[in-house]
Structure 1
Amino acid sequence: MRKFIAVALIAGTAATPALAQDVNPTFTGPRIEATLGYDHVGAGSSVSNNNGRDDQKIDGLLYGGGIGYDFAAGGVVLGVEGEITGSTAKSDRQPYTTDFGFGRVSAGRDLYAGARAGILASPNTMIYVKGGYTNAKLNVLAGNTTTTTDTGFKLDGWRAGAGVERAVGGNSFAKLEYRYSNYNDARITYPSGATSGRFDIDTDRHQLVASYGIRF
């Protein structure tokens, strides 16, 4: 009996490190984070610039936050996540143009829901890829001013990205991430609350962001 107990203890001790590696507690569980970075919205590859000006894009500062939940699946970390961000990107005061496809606009809120998968590069560093659905809003600016109206465009599309996450002590972490979004479907929302029918678009979005968060 004593020999059986001893063998069981030795086997359990040997299995513990492997189990801990599989569970990967540093990068698992619920999380919340704040995000800040660079935001670029522009005409897609199917849109040509015929007016000689590079006004088919808007650039600005992205800000917002997100939540997520990660769990271990063997040697891989899988997760689901959601995010809401805003942006300072907007058209300048050049004469009105429709070459961007939306006229004079400013970036509104951006909603994202998706999943990610990561592997450990070190005990405290994870490399991951992500993808999912994104819904963005562009607010229409009035004429040559920068005053927004109650009219806007709502864009539907998909997002893909990759990043590096680093545990920085305690339950906190930091991330650096690039993501690309493509919007191919849109509708107009009017001040009355009415919406137009859906129509096809080709709009790209590039973002380079840094995030800081806490796991619970």
Structure 2
Amino acid sequence: MRKLIVMVGTALSLISGVASAQETSFRGLRVEGNIGGDRYQSEGIHNDRLGYGGTIGFDGMIGDRIVIGPEASFWRANKWTENCSGVPGGSLCDKSFDEWGAAVRAGVLVNPNLLVFGKGGYVNNEQRQRFDSATISVPSSYDHFRTDGYQVGGGVEYTLTGGRLPVYVNAQYVFSKYDDNTSRQRVMMGLGFRFK
């Protein structure tokens, strides 16, 4: 894995060269829509669905190559996501609803149009846990709650157009871990606009 990372980094450097102090579009307020695969994991099982959401952020520059800034995000799986498993006395179902997040994104410009980035921050997920009893002696139960957690991820972003309202695309992977020992993985694409 380490060799692969070194090889990819070397190849990107050779192909693009070092980013110069040219004008870059990776500054200012950005708004994007996201769509991709969602995997919600709980009780040792997972459920895969299509998901969608949005991100709003603000990027600044440190020197000529470092891009950094805060972002806020929203995500949900299509028709929600529910995992059910058999347990002694009945079945246990965990359901995940909306996820809200706040993170810091930092990256390096490979060239004036291409950014490689990583991010990390906080997430909050609305969830429901339901136990359906198979016996009269054990009551069924229902709990609807919100759980906190953290997110980490990374990806690449490419500016398609310049001018006063640059258009960009990105691809990224994000992992969210919630305090109730459930988690979510997202592989998604984004299309956005940057307001300079």
TM-score, with length taken from structure 1: 0.66
- Number of positions where the alignment pairs a residue of Structure 1 with one of Structure 2: 161
Match for residue 76 of structure 1 among 66, 70, 73: 66
Shift of 1:98: 5.2
Shift of 1:205: 1.4
1:33 equivalent to 2:32? Answer yes
Q: 1:181 is aligned with what amino acid?
A: S
Q: 2:104 is aligned with what amino acid?
A: A
- Pick closer, same or farther for the CA change 1:155–1:98 going to 2, 3 Å: farther
SS in 2 for 1:202: coil
Shift of 1:58: 2.1
Q: Deviations over 1:50-89 (max 9, x none)?
A: xxxxxx2222111111100000011311111001111124
Shift of 1:115: 0.3
- Pick closer, same or farther for the CA change 1:104–1:25 going to 2, 3 Å: same
Distance 1:182 1:140 in 2: 17
Match for residue 127 of structure 1 among 77, 101, 116: 116
Runs of 5+ in structure 1 lacking a partner? Answer: 1-19, 50-55, 144-149, 185-200
Output aligned runs, 1:137-216, within 5 Å. Answer: 137-140=126-129, 151-170=143-162, 171-184=166-179, 201-216=180-195
Output aligned runs, 1:2-151, within 5 Å. Answer: 21=21, 25-43=24-42, 56-74=45-63, 75-88=65-78, 89-91=80-82, 97=86, 103-140=92-129, 151=143
The alignment-based identity, stated in percent, is 29
- Structure having the higher strand fraction is 2
Distance 1:112 1:77 in 2: 20
Distance 2:33 2:190 in 1: 5
Contact 2:102-2:122 within 8 A present in 1 as well: yes
Distance 1:83 1:181 in 2: 12
Runs (4+) off by over 4 Å: 140-143
Distance 2:87 2:124 in 1: 22
Shift of 1:203: 1.7
Distance 1:173 1:26 in 2: 9
- Pick closer, same or farther for the CA change 1:83–1:155 going to 2, 3 Å: same
Shift of 1:175: 0.6
**1:191 matched residue in structure 2:** none
Q: 1:59 is aligned with what amino acid?
A: D
Distance 2:75 2:28 in 1: 22
Q: Deviations over 1:165-205 (max 9, x none)?
A: 00011311001000111112xxxxxxxxxxxxxxxx31221
Shift of 1:29: 0.3
Distance 2:106 2:87 in 1: 39
Distance 1:57 1:138 in 2: 15
Contact 2:27-2:59 within 8 A present in 1 as well: yes
